[in-house]
Amino acid sequence: MEVALLLSFMTYDSSSRIVAELTQWIDSAAPGEKLPSSRSLVARFQASPVTVQKALSTLARRGLVESRPGVGTFVRAVRSIAPPDLSWQTAALSQREPAFTSSMAALQIASNDVFALHSGYPDPGLLPKDLVRTALNRMARTENSLRRAPTAGDGDLQSWFATELADGTSRHVSEPNPSDVTIIPGSQSGLASILRSVVGSGGSLVVESPTYWGLIAAARHSGVRLIPVPSGIDGPSPDVLDEAFERSGATAFYAQPNFANPTGAHWSPNLRADVLDLVRSRRAFLVEDDWAHDFGIDAVSQPLVADDADGHIIYIRSLTKSVSPALRVAAVVARGPARERIRTVVSAEAMYVSPILQAAALDVVTRPAWRTHLRSLGRQLRTRRDSLAAALRAEAPDLRLEQVPTGGLNLWVRLPLGIDVDEFVKAAADVNVLITGGADWFPAEAPAGFVRLNFAGPNPAGFTEAMRRLGEALAQLQAR
Ligand SMILES: Cc1ncc(COP(=O)(O)O)c(C=O)c1O
């Protein structure tokens, strides 16, 4: 047995050696030149005929030589590299998670000749371009371009996130401490880290339904079971939420109390108070995703964490949509053991966030021009939102806008009964209007057909034409 093993190893070893030496020779040989005969290769490498044959087959597979039966083996005239054989990965990787289709499409970058209402990110024209470019140039010339950062993040940026929350903190609650802030490379990775550290594989997480598709994707990848509670323009019902906690034994709830993606819901003061009481009485966490903090239109985002005295709320806020998608900088605020667990996972996964990005993001948000930019952004979003909503009502009245959101970037629109979401999304794409189907936002089956229209993308002047096309596409489907 051992001898056989040794022999097979020697065969492998000498076959690779022959391949390596012949490859070198082929590199300097003329196309069409004949290789030494198998017999002379056997003698030269002191290898068995099988080993030599194996080496020649490898060279042929790599497209370096070709054999002409009865004549010999020749350096290929046209050296084409054979396509890699990746079929082995099928067995190694086994079964996969179902892919998100329409929501992943939200990350696609569209060409200019389409009406792109599918994106999750604002058009570059809505970003503080000059501030970002100046900050990056400035930071490139400092030590920030050469150093590491602490796992928790750079102190000044931690302080900035904490101070932003302190402004809204109620009188009865101690202000968030900068040391409770962990800087992360974007909210998406932060959500995954929170799920892994606070819920864990096999654990349950209560979520609004619909909710952010990226959270659903992260939960699937972390083995977290989702417990959906219906939520719409007014947010979830506290009673139904309580039942979901009772039934599932979950100890965490993920929600977006401010300008939820996709519904646009902005919780009332009563609902905020009720949900906070509920998580307190259930001794549970609320993961508060304040994704649209900088996208208030008629209202401002009021994080619930500002009213949380005892560390029930794990708060997450990102700058990647409002400062620049190229600066992947966000923060998680958590207290107590939860903070430590999250930090451990963050350090295991990302180690730290690039200090040059942290410093550039901080530079942007601490300039007076940032406040001016946010005010102008709010006005632009209002104009865009109103013009898309008006165009929708005028050109495609059968598509029902449930509410005009007071912030965020999207309209959440209900399809008439009997219209299949995927067919509608495809029919829209056929007339060059890109929209996102709502199915991926539901952790289970969707109770009705929805689509999401983003009003922060390129070409707002084209909203009327885009809605006219949607109206026509819908009429055609209805006529079938
Ligand atoms: C609700 C919500 N949370 C988190 C994210 C992820 O944001 P980031 O770009 O910071 O990863 C998004 C992005 O679309 C989002 O809509």
Per-residue pLDDT of the chain (480 residues; tens, 9 = 90+): 444 434 444 444 678 889 999 999 998 888 899 999 999 999 999 999 999 999 999 998 888 898 888 899 999 877 666 666 777 777 777 676 666 655 555 556 565 679 999 988 999 999 999 999 999 999 999 999 999 999 999 999 999 999 999 876 666 667 789 999 999 999 999 999 999 999 999 999 999 999 999 999 999 999 999 999 999 899 999 999 999 999 999 999 999 999 999 999 999 999 999 999 999 999 999 999 999 999 999 999 999 998 898 999 999 999 999 999 999 999 999 999 999 999 999 999 989 999 999 999 999 999 999 999 999 999 999 999 999 999 999 999 999 998 999 999 999 999 999 999 999 999 999 999 999 999 999 999 999 999 999 999 999 999 999 999 999 999 999 998
Q: Decide whether any atom of ligand 1 lies within 6 Å of the 122 Cβ.
A: no
Three-class DSSP category at 254: strand
Give the distance (Å) from ligand 1 centre to CA of residue 162: 20
Residue 438 · residue 106 · CB < 8 Å: no
Residue 272 backbone phi and psi in degrees, to 5: -55, -50
Please list the residues that pair with 298 across neighbouring strands.
Answer: none
Residues in the chain: 480
Structure-token pair, residue 457: 């993308």
pLDDT at 87: 73
Give the distance (Å) from ligand 1 centre to CA of residue 257: 14
Give the distance (Å) from ligand 1 centre to CA of residue 318: 7
Pocket test for ligand 1, best of 107, 118, 212 (most atoms within 8 A of CB): 212
- Using CB atoms within 10 Å of the CB of residue 318, give its burial: 0 to 12 exposed, 13 to 18 middle, 19+ buried: buried
Q: Decide whether any atom of ligand 1 lies within 6 Å of the 261 Cβ.
A: yes
- Using CB atoms within 10 Å of the CB of residue 148, give its burial: 0 to 12 exposed, 13 to 18 middle, 19+ buried: exposed
Q: Decide whether any atom of ligand 1 lies within 6 Å of the 214 Cβ.
A: yes
pLDDT at 6: 40
Q: Which domains does the chain have, with CATH numbers?
A: 2-75 (1.10.10.10), 104-124+370-479 (3.90.1150.10), 129-367 (3.40.640.10)
Tell me whether the omega of the peptide bond preceding residue 262 falls within 30 degrees of 0, making it cis. yes
How far apart are alpha carbons 470 and 480 in whole angstroms?
Answer: 16
Give the distance (Å) from ligand 1 centre to CA of residue 262: 11
